[in-house]
Amino acid sequence: MTVTLSPEQERRMADLLRSGAYQNAEQVLDRALEMLLAQEEWLAESRDHIAASIELGYAAAERGELIDGDEVRSRMAARKNAWMAGKRSA
């Protein structure tokens, strides 16, 4: 399979390789795919919970009980990170 990178993708790849964290483009791609698959798995496993949370949030918003967007993103990131850490240790 041949993949053609956009100039922006090439710049990002070069930055990652220069950082020394990866030895070659294949390692970068392997890590990116690993992260993408983990995210997709998390979304699939969490879909019902996410939908229920959206419903609860919408009802709270209708009542005027709002949570700052940054706080919501922070909470979701923490949940996702905890989930991913659990997957790595399993």
Model pLDDT, residue 57: 86
d(C-alpha 90, C-alpha 85), whole Å: 9
Mean per-residue pLDDT over the chain, rounded: 92
Q: What is the mean pLDDT of residues 56-68?
A: 90
Model pLDDT, residue 48: 93
DSSP notation for 25-79: HHHHHHHHHHHHHHHHHHHHHHHHHHHHHHHHHHHHHHTT----HHHHHHHHHHH
- Structure tokens that stand for 49 in this block: 């919970």
Model confidence at 32: pLDDT above 90:
yes
Q: What is the mean pLDDT of residues 6-25?
A: 96
Q: Using DSSP, state whether 22 is helix, strand or coil.
A: coil
Tokens 């706080």: give the residue.
Answer: 71
